[in-house]
Amino acid sequence: MTRRPEEALTRTQGSSSDKAANYREGVMNRTHWFWIWMCCALPLLAGCVPVAWEVWGPSWALSAIHVPPGGAPTAVTVVDGPLDGPLPPWLHRGPDFTSGRSQGRATHAWRVASLIHAVNPDAQVTVVTVLDGQGRGRRADILRGLAWAAGQPVPGAPVNRHPARVINASLVLAAPDSQCAPDLQRVVAAAAARGTVLVAAAGNDGGRAATRSPANCAGVVAVTALTVQLQAASYANTGASVAVAAPGGDARDGIDLGFGTSASGTSYAAPLVAGAVSRALALHPGWSSEALRDQVRRSARPLAQAACPGGGCGAGLLQVDRLLWPNL
């Protein structure tokens, strides 16, 4: 049966390898070991669910992009799947645009939010639910979620009194004609006019990023993924629409999220950029969204031709320190 366009499904852009599947997928912070003990000792205790996923310990991904210590208060919104369980103080639930279809245990939004937090520990991250627990969603819900995140009025949704300065979209919509749909482009343009920067995953099809939205929309910071060798990942979409690359790992060496968990995909490259952008906007409040996008490119470290054949990795590898302090 042919699915109508408004019912077209999307998917998140990441995969995971979980060596602690019986415990929980995710990342632990040292401050949450008490919760771990309680949930292990009393498995039937109400509330024994993921508490806070934060990158714990050294990470090749954070080292590669030169993340300096510290953070900067910024409002960031993740347009993604549902969140489970109680939340840490820096993480918040936004509206659910799926009409109740987001039931089920999900990990993707937690991981994306945690990577933003790893780069900018002072960011306040809100997750807007537009996908179900399996990473599937409707195009209309995604557009509504993006619009709400940027502070645009959305019928039936509460007024967003704290619009995001940065939106992370680790998801894709098919764009076979390599064009950003006019209604989606209008949402992106309206967000940019308010000073909001949209960071989007390029997609995991091993093809052209131009065939995936919102990464192919004008004004979006499209992010592709690199392996631990800082080469374009075989699964990652690349091309002229990509602005910058960041670590995304692969099946063998994913981004180490701690506690025996790793993940790979452009889904996890994008939030590293979103976290960096959120710090830059706080340090440079006078930068427009366009100026910020330009600075992301200028501050990147160029990659050798062999690392990204065809030059489809944008300006190169994200460098957070150079983005924050351009005269470094």
Of these residues, 15, 267, 278, 299, which one is catalytic? 267
pLDDT at 1: 37
Say if residues 228 and 317 touch (Cβ distance below 8 Å): no
Neighbours of 206 (CB within 10 A): 12
> Which residue out of 59, 80, 250, 256 is catalytically annotated?
80
- Tell me the domain boundaries of the chain: 55-324
294 is catalytic: no
- Give the angle subtended at the CA of 54 by the CAs of 48 and 60, to the nearest 5°: 140
Distance between CA 121 and CA 316 in Å, rounded? Answer: 24
pTM: 0.85
Q: What is the pLDDT of residue 260?
A: 65
Helix (H, G, I), strand (E, B) or coil at 150: coil
pLDDT tens digit at each of 328 positions of the chain? 333 333 334 556 665 433 222 222 222 232 233 233 333 333 333 333 343 444 445 588 999 999 999 999 999 999 999 988 889 999 999 999 997 665 656 789 999 999 999 999 999 999 999 998 888 889 999 999 999 999 999 999 999 999 999 999 999 998 877 899 999 999 999 999 999 999 999 999 999 999 999 999 999 999 999 999 999 999 999 999 999 999 999 877 777 666 567 789 999 999 999 999 999 999 999 999 999 999 999 999 999 999 998 889 999 999 999 999 998 7
**CATH fold of the domain at 55-324:** Rossmann fold (3.40.50)
> One of 32, 66, 108, 117 is an active-site residue; which one?
108
- The DSSP secondary-structure symbol of 85 reads S
108 catalytically annotated: yes
**182-193 helix and 139-149 helix, angle to the nearest 10 degrees:** 10
**Residue 143 CA to its chain's centroid (Å):** 16
Query: What single letter denotes the amino acid at residue 297?
Result: R
241 and 211 in contact (C-beta within 8 Å)?
Answer: no
The whole-number pLDDT of residue 51 equals: 39
Q: What is the pLDDT of residue 324?
A: 98
Euclidean distance between CA atoms 305 and 143, whole angstroms: 36
Identify whether 63 is a catalytic site residue.
no
Give which of 157, 241, 156, 147 is closest to 194, Cα–Cα.
147
